[in-house]
Amino acid sequence: MAIRSDQGIVLRSFPFGEADRVVVILSPNHGKLRTVAKGIRKTKSRFGGRLEPFTHVDLVLYEGRNLDTITQVSVIETFSHLRDDLDQVIAAGTMVEAVDAVASEGEPSLRLFLLLQRGLRALDQGETSSDLVTAFLLKLAEVIGLAPALDFCASCGRQAQTLRFGFAAGGAVCDNCPTEGAVRLRPGLTAYLSVLAEADLADLPQPDPRFSGEAMGIARRFVEYHLERRLSSLAVLDE
Ligand SMILES: [Zn+2]
């Protein structure tokens, strides 16, 4: 069997067989990896807590026919601070879930990897505003080629005032365009979203409580609409 090294951020894992887990990892080089950690569910596993979700790890893998087996793992970055706070863990879970939904197996995904790394790092450094997740989702949409129109009308392309948002239309729409299913927005919301879409995740502008909640709702529904699935971590935030 061939041995290779790789690295990535752990997205999730699930039990496999008696004592093993399948660990799903986003690698910058090979996209989504499904790997097996043998014996990880035994009390004295040699992996310890190193394959917990959100951990950036360096791996040595035995290549298998279907799944690669992890033989060595070392931690590159733990993002340990974000684990101390439930809201931060939920926000990280949303990022990981969205990435998991769009990443493909066997396809390099450097931009997606770097986006996730920056998002987790911002959380780890104490960013608590929901604007971080909003900005993350808008950037994720851009990485997969689905950036919503925010500075112009998604329907006619004009730089008109946009007070509605069409999920199927692909973004903000002006009042001249009859767009079925478009929702009305608070004036100024598209500009707020546009700033977040361009912002550095590590240096977000001061959140504005008039816009943050609605901005998150729009970004989330937009990504959900195009991924055709609900982001269940965000559903937890609703409750
Ligand atoms: Zn229009």
pLDDT in tens, 206-231: 999 999 999 999 999 999 988 876 66
Domain residues of the chain, as ranges? 1-128, 133-239
Q: How confident is the model at residue 152 (pLDDT cuts 50, 70, 90)?
A: very high
Ligand 1 centroid from CA 165, angstroms: 11
Ligand 1 centroid from CA 177, angstroms: 4
Q: How confident is the model over 124-148, as a mean pLDDT? A: 94
Q: What is the pTM of this model?
A: 0.92
Ligand 1 centroid from CA 205, angstroms: 29
Task: Write a three-state SS string for the chain.
Answer: CCEEEEEEEEEEEEEECCCEEEEEEEECCCEEEEEEECCCCCCCCCCCCCCCCCCEEEEEEECCCCCEEEEEEEEEECCHHHHHCHHHHHHHHHHHHHHHHHCCECCCCHHHHHHHHHHHHHHHCCCCCCHHHHHHHHHHHHHCCCCCECCCCCCCCCCCCEEEEECCCCEEEECCCCCCCCEECCCCHHHHHHHHHHCCCCCCCCCCCCCHHHHHHHHHHHHHHHHCCCCHHHHHHHC
> Domain spanning 1-128 has what CATH number?
2.40.50.140
Ligand 1 centroid from CA 175, angstroms: 7
Ligand 1 centroid from CA 220, angstroms: 23
What pLDDT is recorded for position 229?
Answer: 65
Ligand 1 centroid from CA 155, angstroms: 5
